[in-house]
């Protein structure tokens, strides 16, 4: 007989998430993901000075404020018709890169690792899910992993310190604005940034990557768990030229393993299983309507179901790295039992890439790529030259800002009327990943990843949270944004 | 709580200078602290309408390090981002802590009060969601004290900005509405500096309630005006104003809200002292009760 398992709250993620599954014969046969907090950010943005959007939008999420800040300033640049100078582009990249490193270290060591590693025997590390074979590292390896957990706390802190050299303050940076960045680079700032960056590169290459593969080698079965939809989307991230035509991670879509060019017009959002009126289903976000229908009996979440040509797409490190297909670190060679000389690319992992471990490996590998690219950007800074252009608020304008957050494809849209924000919209990574079924009943990517997962003990469903956390969900982002133009409505969350 | 003398001195460094506390007095405080504190107090950390930024800022504490905060200073029984447990096991950790002992409640984020609190649900009992409003009624009454970390929790913050779609409010306003008498300390900021959070905790545990200003914030950290103490103040007196970001001069004409904001950012600086908002760009006045509406627009002083 099927048994229902509810995990609420799912902790060690950002925000408020509930997971509900049905298990039959030890396997997940039904899966639903539900977000449980709504703040109405887009409504709050309406009527404000457009320049304030980049500060307010950052505060959607304290883990990835730079992602929202970046999407927002790109959106404002577009609406204002301005192009940041080279220093502005580079400083934005350096600030964003610092936050990627911080976010990925935090995710692996502090949000995820406790699903595989036993922490110290004190709160907040106990209680924890307990069961046979849950924590497989031998005592010495586990102790070393805990030491690295603590070391990573210091390193992620350093990444924020590095960020603040150009960002002023973190979380929530003062340093990126429409028209560029605020700091004018000086030799002392560049030097002070560089030494921290070198230390972080070393940590990523010599501690983060090997720890991911160390854990992976004890949990190889997780190369076959949590496949998801195997379709990917990235808006691309880190501009390599001032026109934004080249990016470190390119934009793209990948359906059934086949890369193809990205066309934003092919996105639509379904709401049959969300608490919104059925007649608003299937619209493009730029003309989307959001009319809550809280008592809709088949609704189960505040997230919509974004689809691309009707297909669910996974976003995030796995999507970016599958499409960019970089050469992997030597730690990957060792994990795969290949000689260090052999050139292994991410797609060489084949089907095993579509998995819980595939996501963790992609995240760590891209973290190294970014950390090394940052050194080049730092060297390209033009010392003592301005990083911003002076801007003037337009009376009427529209803008779009697309980027990739650490967690995946992130888009902001603005409409300005009378010099004020008339409308502000965002479609965020976790909506793609953790959204519900679409109108045709196709499950969202995270729901698909949960399907078929073996659950050994319904009271300690560690397998479920391992799958969910591999996506690095960020619910503050996903839920606060979906309800753009809604008036206050009676709602029902559960 | 095991906060070493050296750590405590570093923690208090900026504010001691700001307040003119002599080194001798400071040493007395530290010895008292070391003597007074035994065992780690239980802390339940709830996130309401929050962005997790205050928690991330706490992770940025340097002296003491977050490792020491977690392992030695407090016993963090519930924290949504840090704790090992999920689901019912996590909810049980709240319930058992609340039953068993004196505990401090940290609140991050505001409380969404409209629609019976259904805008924010944290966990469930018998498949019924428990709202943040429910938790605040339950734990707010039984806590030894509440630390309202961040401007959302202290004053409502951005979720309560107009038109305040969810009826968001800070802890003090919520307690006034519900007639809950538990003492509350506001540690505002978007986010608050880690020293303000750890320092307030240290004060509370060792010396009891710190002296608070009219907004319920420790005078120790929020006692002085940013503009009056700003290193760029000389430019203001000379009427030399920066015309673009990064230019020499006072930042007032770029929209700096330093004249309306009270905190020690100007001496403490951020992220291990590498920078701070006014040096980098402008002050948004994020520590103030009127943030963001009363201080809008951000990049203009009208």
Write out chain A residues lying below 8 Å of B92, CB-based: 127
- Average pLDDT for B222-248: 97
- Neighbouring CB atoms inside 10 A of B294's CB total 12
Write out chain A residues lying below 8 Å of B47, CB-based: 16
Segments making up each domain of chain A, as ranges: 3-227+329-343+353-428+448-480
- Average pLDDT for A231-238: 97
How does pLDDT run across A343-392, given as a tens digit for each residue?
A: 999 999 999 999 999 999 999 999 999 999 999 999 999 999 999 999 99
- For tokens 């697309």, the residue is A402
d(CA A174, CA A167): 6
User: Collapsing DSSP states into helix, strand and coil, what is residue A49?
Assistant: coil
Say what angle helices A209-218 and A356-380 make with each other, to 10 degrees: 170
DSSP single-letter state for residue B135? H
d(CA B217, CA A107): 32
Residue in B87, B124, B274 nearest the CB of A161: B274
Write out chain A residues lying below 8 Å of B83, CB-based: 11-12, 123-125
How does pLDDT run across A286-324, given as a tens digit for each residue?
A: 676 666 666 678 888 878 899 999 999 999 999 999 999
Q: B164-195: buried (b, 16+ CB within 10 Å) or exposed (e) per residue?
A: bbbbbbbbbbbbeeeebeeebbbbbbbbbbbb
**pLDDT at residue B14 greater than cutoff 70:** no
**pLDDT at residue A161 greater than cutoff 80:** yes
**pLDDT at residue A337 greater than cutoff 60:** yes
If one compares B123 and A292, the residue with the highest pLDDT of the two is B123
- Average pLDDT for B95-114: 93
CB A4 within 8 A of CB A461: no
DSSP H or E stretch at residue A43: helix A41-45
Give the neighbor-by-neighbor strand order of the sheet with A420-427. A397-405, A408-417, A420-427
How does pLDDT run across B47-62, given as a tens digit for each residue?
A: 999 999 999 999 999 9
Residue in B70, B115, B271 nearest the CB of A490: B115
- Neighbouring CB atoms inside 10 A of A342's CB total 10
What is the torsion angle, in degrees rounded to the nearest 10, for the CA atoms of residue B281, residue A58, residue A244 and residue A431? 180
If one compares A482 and A38, the residue with the highest pLDDT of the two is A38
**pLDDT at residue B195 greater than cutoff 80:** yes
d(CA A362, CA B79): 28
- Average pLDDT for B116-145: 91
- Average pLDDT for B77-89: 94
Flag if A175 and B71 touch (Cβ within 8 Å).
Answer: no
d(CA A447, CA A467): 10
- How many residue contacts between A and B have a Cβ separation below 8 Å? 266
Q: Which sign does the torsion angle of CA B199, B204, B208, B214 carry?
A: positive
Flag if A48 and B163 touch (Cβ within 8 Å).
Answer: no
Least confident piece of the model among A48-57, A137-146, A253-262, B242-251: A253-262
- Average pLDDT for A478-494: 34
Flag if B298 and A65 touch (Cβ within 8 Å).
Answer: no
Beta strands in A278-343 (DSSP E): 305-308
Write out chain B residues lying below 8 Å of A171, CB-based: 53, 56-57, 191
- For tokens 């309560």, the residue is B160
- For tokens 């009676």, the residue is A490
As a whole number, the mean pLDDT across chain B is 88
Tokens read off for B134: 């429910």
What's the pLDDT score for residue B299? 97
Tokens read off for B164: 């305040």
Flag if B274 and A192 touch (Cβ within 8 Å).
Answer: yes
- Average pLDDT for B287-301: 97
d(CA A331, CA A112): 20
Task: Give CATH 3.40.50.700 domain extents, chain B.
Answer: 5-221
Within 13 Å, how many C-alpha atoms sit on residue A422's CB side? 12
Beta strands in A368-446 (DSSP E): 397-405, 408-417, 420-427
Residue in B75, B244, B296 nearest the CB of A49: B296
d(CA B281, CA A183): 8
How does pLDDT run across A117-128, given as a tens digit for each residue?
A: 999 999 999 999
Write out chain B residues lying below 8 Å of A165, CB-based: 274-275
Residue in B49, B277, B292 nearest the CB of A174: B277
User: Which of A399, A418, A447 lies closest to A178, judged by CA?
Assistant: A399
How far A60 CA sits from the closest chain B CA (Å)?
Answer: 6
Flag if B86 and A52 touch (Cβ within 8 Å).
Answer: no
Chain A, 426 to 465: residues with Cβ < 8 Å from chain B are 460-461, 465
Q: Which pLDDT band holds residue A486 (cuts at 50, 70, 90)?
A: very low
How far A467 CA sits from the closest chain B CA (Å)?
Answer: 14
What's the pLDDT score for residue B119? 83
How far B231 CA sits from the closest chain A CA (Å)?
Answer: 15
Catalytic residues of B: 51, 54, 152, 190, 227, 230, 250, 256, 265, 277, 283, 286
Residue in A167, A461, A488 nearest the CB of B280: A167
- Average pLDDT for A14-38: 88
**pLDDT at residue B6 greater than cutoff 60:** no
Chain A, 135 to 164: residues with Cβ < 8 Å from chain B are 150, 153-154, 156-157, 160-161, 163-164
If one compares A213 and B8, the residue with the highest pLDDT of the two is A213
User: Which chain A residue has its CA at the smallest distance from B91's CA?
Assistant: A9
pLDDT cut 70: percent of chain A above it: 94
How does pLDDT run across A168-212, given as a tens digit for each residue?
A: 999 999 999 999 999 999 999 999 999 999 999 999 999 999 999
| H-state helical runs in A277-428 | 317-324, 330-336, 356-380
d(CA A162, CA A330): 27
Strand partners, B213: none
Residue in B65, B163, B271 nearest the CB of A43: B163
Architecture of domain B5-221: 3-Layer(aba) Sandwich (3.40)
Chain A, 165 to 204: residues with Cβ < 8 Å from chain B are 165-172, 174-175, 177, 180-184, 192
**pLDDT at residue B9 greater than cutoff 50:** no
How far B86 CA sits from the closest chain A CA (Å)?
Answer: 5
What's the pLDDT score for residue B39? 65
CB A159 within 8 A of CB A98: yes
What's the pLDDT score for residue A43? 85
Tokens read off for A481: 């944004």
**pLDDT at residue B12 greater than cutoff 50:** no
Interface contact B70, partner A, CB < 8 A = yes
Tokens read off for A13: 């993620």
| H-state helical runs in A84-239 | 86-105, 139-167, 187-203, 209-218
**pLDDT at residue B36 greater than cutoff 80:** no
d(CA B29, CA B240): 42
Chain B, 256 to 275: residues with Cβ < 8 Å from chain A are 270-272, 274-275
What is the torsion angle, in degrees rounded to the nearest 10, for the CA atoms of residue B3, residue B5, residue B10 and residue B14? 100
**pLDDT at residue A484 greater than cutoff 60:** no
Write out chain A residues lying below 8 Å of B122, CB-based: 9, 16, 36
Write out chain A residues lying below 8 Å of B112, CB-based: 37-39
What is the torsion angle, in degrees rounded to the nearest 10, for the CA atoms of residue B118, residue B123, residue B124 and residue B125? -130
CB A357 within 8 A of CB A219: yes
Kindly indicate whether the ipTM for this predicted assembly is greater than 0.90, answering yes or no.
Answer: yes
Write out chain B residues lying below 8 Å of A181, CB-based: 245
CATH topology of domain B224-295: Cytochrome-c3 Hydrogenase; Chain A, domain 2 (4.10.480)
Flag if A387 and B246 touch (Cβ within 8 Å).
Answer: yes
Write out chain B residues lying below 8 Å of A492, CB-based: 118
**pLDDT at residue B74 greater than cutoff 80:** yes
- For tokens 């805008």, the residue is B119
| H-state helical runs in chain B | 5-19, 23-36, 53-59, 66-68, 87-100, 132-142, 151-155, 171-178, 194-207, 219-222, 226-229, 233-237, 265-268, 277-280
Residue in A119, A157, A491 nearest the CB of B119: A491
Please give the span between the terminal C-alpha atoms of chain A, in angstroms, as a whole number. Answer: 24
CATH topology of domain A3-227+329-343+353-428+448-480: Cytochrome-c3 Hydrogenase; chain B (1.10.645)
d(CA A283, CA B64): 51
Flag if B165 and A39 touch (Cβ within 8 Å).
Answer: yes
Task: Give CATH 4.10.480.10 domain extents, chain B.
Answer: 224-295
Strand partners, B104: B43, B145
If one compares A300 and A136, the residue with the highest pLDDT of the two is A136
pLDDT cut 90: percent of chain A above it: 81
How does pLDDT run across A168-177, given as a tens digit for each residue?
A: 999 999 999 9
d(CA B180, CA B65): 34
Within 13 Å, how many C-alpha atoms sit on residue A136's CB side? 11
How does pLDDT run across A438-481, given as a tens digit for each residue?
A: 999 999 999 999 999 999 999 999 999 999 999 999 887 665 44
**pLDDT at residue B20 greater than cutoff 70:** no
- Average pLDDT for A64-84: 97
Tokens read off for B98: 């609340």
Predicted TM-score (pTM) of the model is 0.93
């Amino acid at each position: 007989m099927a048994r229902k398992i509810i995990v609420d709250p799912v902790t060690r993620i950002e925000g408020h998430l509930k997971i509900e599954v049905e298990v039959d014969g030890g396997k997940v046969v039904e899966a639903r993901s539900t977000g449980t907090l709504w703040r109405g950010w887009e409504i709050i943005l309406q009527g404000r000075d457009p320049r304030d959007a980049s500060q307010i939008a950052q505060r959607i999420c304290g883990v990835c404020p730079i992602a929202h800040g970046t999407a927002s300033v790109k959106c404002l640049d577009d609406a204002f018709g301005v192009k940041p100078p080279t220093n502005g582009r580079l400083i934005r990249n350096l600030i964003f890169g610092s936050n990627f490193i911080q976010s990925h270290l935090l995710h692996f060591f502090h949000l995820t690792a406790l699903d595989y590693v036993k922490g110290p025997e004190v709160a907040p590390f106990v209680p924890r899910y307990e069961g046979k074979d849950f924590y497989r590292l031998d005592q010495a390896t586990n102790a070393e992993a805990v030491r690295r957990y603590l070391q990573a706390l210091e390193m992620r802190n350093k990444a924020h310190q590095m960020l603040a050299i150009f960002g002023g303050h973190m979380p929530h940076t003062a340093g990126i604005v429409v028209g560029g960045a605020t700091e004018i680079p000086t030799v002392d700032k560049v030097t002070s940034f560089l030494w921290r960056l070198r230390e972080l590169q070393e940590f990523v290459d010599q501690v983060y990557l090997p720890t991911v593969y160390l854990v992976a080698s004890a949990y190889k079965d997780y190369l076959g768990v949590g496949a998801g939809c195997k379709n990917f989307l990235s808006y691309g991230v880190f501009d390599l030229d001032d026109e934004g035509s080249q990016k470190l991670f390119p934009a793209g879509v990948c359906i059934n393993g086949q890369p193809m060019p990205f066309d934003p017009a092919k996105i639509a959002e379904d709401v049959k299983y969300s608490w919104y009126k059925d007649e608003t289903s299937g619209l493009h976000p730029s003309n989307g309507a959001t009319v809550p229908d809280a008592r809709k009996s088949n609704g189960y979440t505040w997230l919509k179901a974004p689809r691309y040509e009707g297909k669910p797409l996974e976003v995030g490190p796995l999507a970016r790295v599958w499409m960019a297909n970089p050469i992997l670190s030597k730690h990957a060679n060792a994990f795969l039992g290949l000689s260090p000389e052999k050139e292994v690319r991410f797609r060489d992992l084949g089907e095993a890439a579509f998995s819980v471990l595939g996501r963790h490996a992609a995240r760590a590998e891209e973290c190294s790529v970014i950390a090394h690219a940052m050194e080049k950007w730092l060297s390209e800074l033009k010392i003592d030259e301005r990083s911003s252009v002076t801007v003037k608020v337009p009376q009427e304008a529209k803008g779009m800002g697309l980027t990739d957050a650490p967690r995946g494809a992130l888009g902001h849209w603005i409409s300005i009327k009378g010099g004020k924000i008339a409308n502000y919209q965002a479609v965020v990574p976790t909506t793609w990943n953790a959204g519900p079924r679409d109108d045709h009943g196709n499950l969202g990517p995270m729901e698909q990843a949960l399907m078929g997962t073996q659950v050994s003990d319904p009271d300690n469903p560690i397998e479920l949270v391992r799958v969910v956390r591999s996506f690095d969900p960020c619910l503050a982002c996903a839920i606060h944004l979906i309800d753009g133009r809604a008036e206050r409505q009676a709602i029902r969350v559960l | 709580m095991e906060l070493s003398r050296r750590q405590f001195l570093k923690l208090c460094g900026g504010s001691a200078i700001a307040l003119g506390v002599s080194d001798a007095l400071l040493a007395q405080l530290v010895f008292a602290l070391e003597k007074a504190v035994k065992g780690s107090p239980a802390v339940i950390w709830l996130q309401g309408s929050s962005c997790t930024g205050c928690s991330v800022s706490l992770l940025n504490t340097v002296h003491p390090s977050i490792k020491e905060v977690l392992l030695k200073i407090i016993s963090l029984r519930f924290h949504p981002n840090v704790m090992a447990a999920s689901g019912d096991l996590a909810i049980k950790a709240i319930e058992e802590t609340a039953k068993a002992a004196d505990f401090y409640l940290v609140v991050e984020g505001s409380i969404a009060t409209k629609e019976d609190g259904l805008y924010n649900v944290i966990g469930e009992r018998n498949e019924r969601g428990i709202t943040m409003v429910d938790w605040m009624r339950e734990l707010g009454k039984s806590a030894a004290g509440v630390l309202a970390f961040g401007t959302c929790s202290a004053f409502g913050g951005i979720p309560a900005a107009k038109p305040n779609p969810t009826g968001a409010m800070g802890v003090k306003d919520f307690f006034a509405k519900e007639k809950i008498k538990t003492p509350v300390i506001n540690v505002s900021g978007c986010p608050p500096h880690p020293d303000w959070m750890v320092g307030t905790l240290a004060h509370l545990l060792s010396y009891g309630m710190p002296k608070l200003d009219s907004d319920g914030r420790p005078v120790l950290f929020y006692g002085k005006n940013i503009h009056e103490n700003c290193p760029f103040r000389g430019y203001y007196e000379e009427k030399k104003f920066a015309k673009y970001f990064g230019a020499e001069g006072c930042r007032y004409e770029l929209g700096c809200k330093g004249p309306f904001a009270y905190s020690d950012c100007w001496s403490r600086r951020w992220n291990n002292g590498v920078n701070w908002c006014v040096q980098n760009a402008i002050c948004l006045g994020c520590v103030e009760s009127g943030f963001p509406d009363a201080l809008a627009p951000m990049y203009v002083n009208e």
